[in-house]
Amino acid sequence: MKTCLIVDDSNVIRKVARRVLKGLGFEIVEAEHGGHALEVCSRSLPDAILLDWNMPVMDGYEFLGNLRRMPGGDQPIVIFCTTENDVGHIARALYAGANEYIVKPFDKEIIATKFAEVGLIDFSQLPPA
């Protein structure tokens, strides 16, 4: 089973994301901010990370930089999931090594198609359009 780390300071968002991603067959780990997420990753690297930008302690951008410098840290597929929707933020995220980018609000379909596009799930798992 693939694992997905959900990093978001809102427990409502984590709960919604957890439900969607469980439905897609992931084992879920949660973190409330980037510092916590780094701890989780140093114990065991997940296959996928759904990452918020603005969080206390350490934001998603800083976390991503740290993750990519860790041994094996280039492996997890990182999908930003944030309200920051301007091209400047998106370009910075890509530069820091993000694989994809979702602008909130998201729903099940958006998550599922993005996860399929980056190869984390099979297209056959998508609900028919």
Residue ranges binding another protein (CB under 8 A):
85-87, 90-91, 94, 98, 100-103, 110, 113-114, 116-117, 123, 128-129
From the list 39, 72, 32, the residue with the least C-alpha distance to 54 is 32
**Minimum distance of another protein from residue 9's CB (angstroms):** 22
**Minimum distance of another protein from residue 49's CB (angstroms):** 15
C-beta closer to another protein: residue 27 or 117? 117
Question: Alpha helices of 51-107 — where are they, by DSSP H?
Answer: 60-69, 87-95
C-beta closer to another protein: residue 65 or 106? 106
Q: Are 76 and 44 in contact (CB under 8 A)?
A: no
Residue 45 neighbours by CB under 8 Å, 6+ apart: 70, 72, 73, 75, 76
C-beta closer to another protein: residue 1 or 87? 87
Tokens of 27: 């084992």
**Minimum distance of another protein from residue 8's CB (angstroms):** 18
